[in-house]
């Protein structure tokens, strides 16, 4: 199973959720619109080197030979539907981080972040960099019919490499699973499997908390 709910985990208190949303908007204003979109696929963190150190994840190099996908920097016009903007900001609130650690939802090696998908219909098929499993918690879903879809390479393309920082064309992959998140419900994703966010409403956004799955929940 590529995704599943984690019903035993407690709901994030509303006041802490509001802190995260307020911090996100504060940083959006502070950066004056400089948060990069999905096509550039860059992230705002206090320090990218610090993040890589904290998460202790091996960065996988990309080579263009025998790849299933196309570099994220080259996909802006690669699809026939509107690609959403992707914004992501590290959680810096000590109150929120303390609550997450108290409930064993993160540890010293994990950097929680708030991520937003907005102004588009989908986020393209991809695999994550730095992590193979994630736990997510949505504040807004992005529409009533939004799903996280999971894919695998079609048989004739199975020999090609599946790499992070790339997006995969739908004609080279086939659907294997689909998951519909619920608001204020923790869920776990296998982010090593190709996945995408589909059926977003252009007038809404999908925003929530995400982090590498701690060992106790694997």
CATH of 3-56+67-217, one of 1.10.275.10, 2.60.120.10, 3.30.450.20, 3.40.50.300: 2.60.120.10
Do 185 and 137 contact (CB within 8 A), yes or no? yes
Predicted pLDDT at 64:
58
Predicted pLDDT at 30:
66
Degrees to nearest 5, angle at CA 22 with 20 and 25:
110
Report the DSSP beta bridge partners of residue 190.
133
Instruction: Report the 10 Å Cβ neighbour count for 218.
Output: 8
- Supply φ then ψ for residue 62, to 5 degrees: -105, 135
Separation CA 151–CA 195 (nearest Å): 6
Predicted pLDDT at 58:
44
- Supply φ then ψ for residue 138, to 5 degrees: -95, 135
Nearest to 150 by CA among 172, 118, 179: 179
Predicted pLDDT at 89:
85
pTM for this model (two decimals): 0.86
Phi-psi region of 165 (alpha: psi -120 to 50; beta: other; left: phi over 0): left
Separation CA 27–CA 22 (nearest Å): 9
Q: One digit per residue, pLDDT tens: the chain, 218 residues?
A: 899 999 999 999 999 999 999 999 888 766 554 444 433 434 433 334 444 444 444 444 555 568 999 888 788 788 999 999 888 888 989 999 999 999 999 887 788 999 999 999 999 999 987 788 999 999 999 999 999 999 999 999 999 999 888 899 999 999 999 999 999 999 999 999 999 999 999 999 999 999 988 877 87
Predicted pLDDT at 169:
96
């Amino acid at each position: 199973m590529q995704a599943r709910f984690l019903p035993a985990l407690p709901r994030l208190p509303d006041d802490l959720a509001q802190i995260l949303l307020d911090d996100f908007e504060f940083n959006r204003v502070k950066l004056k619109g400089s948060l990069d979109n999905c096509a550039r696929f860059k992230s705002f963190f206090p320090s990218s080197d610090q993040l890589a150190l904290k998460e202790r994840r091996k960065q996988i190099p990309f080579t263009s030979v025998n790849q299933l996908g196309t570099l994220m920097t080259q996909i802006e016009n690669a699809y026939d539907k509107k690609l959403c903007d992707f914004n992501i900001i590290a959680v810096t609130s000590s109150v929120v981080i303390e609550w997450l650690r108290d409930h064993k939802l993160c540890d010293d090696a994990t950097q929680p972040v708030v991520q937003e998908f907005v102004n588009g219909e989908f986020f393209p098929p991809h695999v994550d960099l730095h992590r193979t499993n994630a736990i997510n918690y949505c504040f807004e879903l992005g529409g009533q019919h939004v799903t996280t879809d999971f894919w695998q390479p079609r048989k004739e393309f199975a020999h090609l490499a599946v790499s992070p920082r790339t997006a995969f064309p739908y004609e080279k992959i086939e659907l294997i699973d689909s998951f519909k998140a619920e608001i204020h419900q923790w869920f776990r994703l296998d982010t090593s499997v190709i996945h995408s966010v589909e059926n977003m409403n252009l007038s809404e956004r999908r925003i929530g908390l995400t982090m590498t799955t701690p060992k106790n929940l694997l």
